[in-house]
Structure 1
């Protein structure tokens, strides 16, 4: 099987076309292949071969992608690490993954005692040696992507080349990507969203990718004007940062064919406000690392249903199960499960966790939702985030949606706080749009109007910002800690 996201498998006619660029470099497809071969030769010279694991701990830059490709060129596996990790955090992933070597920023970066190569010392064309011949197979382990660890120690999600090819193909199909498309990458490359949607899908389509090291509203808009991308993917936090810009800030975003929002729940109001403000089509999708990134998404051309995360991507099947594990009918609320060639092989060295998550041959997501008559999925909440108040099951997302309905609310998050009588009660944190000043009483009144009494938050905290994890998701474990102390 040929994996079209590997640049050395691209047709010769692509050789001179733009492929990858960042603030330091710009390479054609042919130049990327030469640089990958040089790095692969360097890795082979350090003892890396088929079945080995190469760790890469770098901020967003082209070299990170070159290392991934070089590992795959040798039949090895890549595991990307958050470059902000402490030595303790990095050491856990390096040891757990079984990495033999790490590519990092330099001598001060954590290595976990492993041999390392500094990014500035990566080999360049002209220094390569003969490469072992290896054609990746579908069953070959391509990526070890570690979960955020919000429910315990991070777990290494095993993704094969078959998983990656299936996901990239689904995205090319769903978004209609062609060689004319140009993605602006703003999400961190130590997570699968950026690797699959921004990088691999672009490569499979024969398009081009521009890598931004980090997101900032003004530099991002400047990059859109300068590079003229056709699409990008981001998390709700990024769209919130864009939506809160003063009206006087304007940018030419006419090159953008669409943008994707995923990785965390987003309010309908924020989607609509961003789309109206900047003029590009914004679609919401849904997926997990365990599903190689995305499983549903609203269409760019077709019926979009705000408030839903869209229908299943081509080749995937979405169902909703009841407590007995049996499929539920249209409109019924239950746990969302996913089937398809994108579902992970399992968690590295975690057979019990793997068996529980892949029970019945389907990916148990831990998310609660329902599917309408057109196959569009609406998420209700995470099972683990559900609040049980006096025996009543409350879903924070429903309360958050009411708070988001206030025109001055930019972000809202609700968690359960311990209560001596009811067990748990909802507590809310709210961030207002700049220049507005809603009061807690304004928000309590909205809750009283739109929610039954049992769902009313017992406290609403107005804050400047919500705590976020490295992917940009609201850090609800941290909020639960704050709720205990408040």
Structure 2
């Protein structure tokens, strides 16, 4: 079984039910499944065969849903790519990923014209109309040097009776996700049909998704968090998606209220923006039965503040691209523990181990490792990296964690973000939690910088509207709650913290600022 075949089954059960709403229009499951099959047939007619790689450079839209499911139905491997990456970043992924076909917005055509000679394997460019509000320039296909490779997305939905559904095995690669690694080039995590299907199915069951749910899809669809939790799992459950092209608190609250949405999934910064939005009220979130957080650790102060204001529980979970992505969620049938990523989801086992790979005792810190049907088969064309990351069937996540006596897991920090001050371990998240509890601080990020005496020192970046706050007053605040060696040696004020497109704070960008300053 795979997610594209399951869509056909769901359409058989709920044919007239809306599969998604987009910009005020509803599209039924029967209509969606028909468009997916026609798209797959046209891919076959143009020469896309089983195993060929098709990249998606799209934002949140029906183009993405139809394009992904259509490519999977044709037997292709899908490579979702952030469309706002630089040409160099996109060029690397398309080249390294041996991409044969691309589905992209028309505003990206000039970029493909420039990269044409660098991508000899690229044979097809399927062009989607950019919404008028986002147009960068008018484009005439007749003038393009790559016009012979181009076909409109609309033409791909024309009737084609020649479709032959390919035989797909569980171990065939369905999706390659390029991870935004902190060092070196991105690595392509190969996820099989079994990986994708099992995780979506298990997440849907764990979160009790059903055909009555209406799920807000505002996380970027090219990101695995949205792909599984806000797209595949709902469509496998007969739920309806509410596709949001771009996150804004005002728009999300409006759509929740208009459609009586029941599920919202977001990263902590989204919840922070929603909590701070002046127009947001408890009434705006009244229909929600569940909020889901992932992508980064959620500060406890933010979680409690959001739950108190909107009277809805946030279930925090954990995942990574290499695990399709979800491994843990706070359960719905017992108390949610603030600060915890929850427990093993169905069919997935998490462990905390020491440097020798031995499981440690409860509440001891070690590396989180994962085993289950959701774990990738490896990195594309990187056997050594694969062997280092997957050992004995276990995926080594690189995250430091602990497990309590009841089986709840807690992320302590990224292994590589650990700060060592005079031989003592300082976990950035612990310090960040303290500053998030300060009533005037909106955001905080902590990292280590070189120190000639202690090896490393702690620096904290904060965002606040209170101009009266000083570095010394915030250090004093930290001294009241932290051991002396954990108190930041430096506190810097920023207008905003650097973030990626999912809203995750980019420590790497802050580290680059530190490195640049040390060179001056």
TM-score bucket (shorter structure) = over 0.9
Q: 1:209 — aligned with what?
A: 241
Distance 1:108 1:329, change over 3 A: closer
Deviation at 1:108, TM superposition (A): 3.7
Q: Distance in 2 between matches of 1:34 and 1:246?
A: 42
Match of residue 199 from structure 1:
231
1:483 paired with 2:514, answer yes
Q: How much has 1:4 moved relative to structure 2?
A: 7.3
2:364 matches 1:310? no
Do residues 439 (structure 1) and 470 (structure 2) align? yes
Is 1:183–2:192 an aligned residue pair?
no
Q: Deviations 1:418-457 (Å, cap 9, x if unpaired)?
A: 122222111000123x568543233211211122211111
In the alignment, what sits opposite 2:178?
146
State whether structure 2 residue 266 is matched by structure 1 residue 257.
no
State the match for 2:495 in structure 1. Answer: 464
Displacement of 1:247 in angstroms is 6.5
Where does the alignment leave 5 or more consecutive residues of structure 1 unmatched? none
SS at structure 1 position matched to 2:236: helix
Q: What SS does structure 1 have at the residue aligned with 2:343?
A: coil
2:326 partner SS: coil
* More off after superposition, 102-111 vs 275-284: 102-111
Secondary structure, aligned partner of 1:252:
helix
Which segments of structure 1 move beyond 4 Å, counting only runs of 4 or more?
2-5, 247-251, 434-437
Q: Residues 469 and 475 of structure 1 are in contact (CA less than 8 Å); yes or no, is this contact kept in structure 2?
A: yes
Q: Can you list the C-alpha shifts for 1:153-208, whole angstroms capped at 9, x where unaligned? A: 11111111101111111111211111111111010111111110011100111111
Q: Residue 48 and residue 160 in structure 1: after superposition, are their counterparts in 2 closer, same or farther (change >3 A)?
A: same
- SS of 2:56's equivalent in the other structure is strand
Name the CA distance, whole Å, in 2 between partners of 1:375 and 1:283: 16
Q: In the alignment, which residue of structure 1 is the partner of 2:105?
A: 105
1:237 to 247, 257, 269: 269
Contact 1:53-1:99 within 8 A present in 2 as well: yes
Displacement after TM superposition at 1:67 (Å): 0.8
The answer to whether residue 65 in structure 2 is matched with residue 33 in structure 1 is no
The residue correspondences of 1:7-86 to structure 2 (distance < 5 A) are 7-10=7-10, 12-23=12-23, 25-86=25-86
Alignment of 1:292-307 (within 5 A): 292-307=324-339
Choose 468-477 or 213-222, whichever is displaced more. Answer: 468-477
Equivalent residue for 1:282, pick from 282, 298, 314: 314
Matched-pair contact (CA < 8 Å) for 1:107–1:118: no
CA distance in 1, matches of 2:10, 2:271: 34
Report the secondary structure of 2:68's partner residue: helix
TM-score computed with the length of structure 1 as normaliser:
0.96
Counterparts in 2 of 1:155-174, with a 5 A limit? Answer: 155-174=187-206
Q: Is the 8 A contact 1:72 1:136 kept in 2?
A: no
Question: Which of 394, 414, 425 matches 2:426?
Answer: 394
- SS of 1:450's equivalent in the other structure is coil
Aligned pair count reads: 485
Distance 1:11 1:313 in 2: 27
- TM-score, length of structure 2 as denominator length: 0.89
**Residues 296, 229 of structure 1: alpha-carbon distance in 2 compared, 3 angstrom cutoff:** same
Q: Which of 362, 373, 376 is 1:341 aligned to? A: 373
In structure 2, the CA distance between the partners of 1:125 and 1:395, relative to structure 1 (3 Å rule), is: closer
Give the one of 399, 405, 410 matched to 1:378. 410
In structure 1, distance between residues paired with 2:63 and 2:25: 10
Query: Relative to 1, partners in 2 of residues 1:13 and 1:368: Cα closer, same or farther, differing over 3 Å?
Result: closer
Instruction: Name the stretch that deviates more: 468-477 or 200-209.
Output: 468-477
SS in structure 2 of the partner of residue 56 of structure 1 = strand
Equivalent pair of 1:3/1:9 in contact (CA under 8 Å): no
Change beyond 3 A, Cα 1:96–1:24: farther
For residue 455 of structure 1, the aligned residue among 472, 475, 486 is 486
Q: CA deviation at 1:209?
A: 0.7
Aligned residue number for residue 357 of structure 2: 325
Instruction: Compute the displacement of 1:23 (Å).
Output: 1.7
Partners of 2:11 and 2:374 in 1: CA distance = 26
User: Could you tell me how far apart the structure 1 residues matched to 2:5 and 2:239 are?
Assistant: 10
Distance 1:135 1:199, change over 3 A: farther
Tell me if structure 2 keeps the 8 A contact 1:428–1:461.
Answer: yes
Deviation at 1:106, TM superposition (A): 1.4
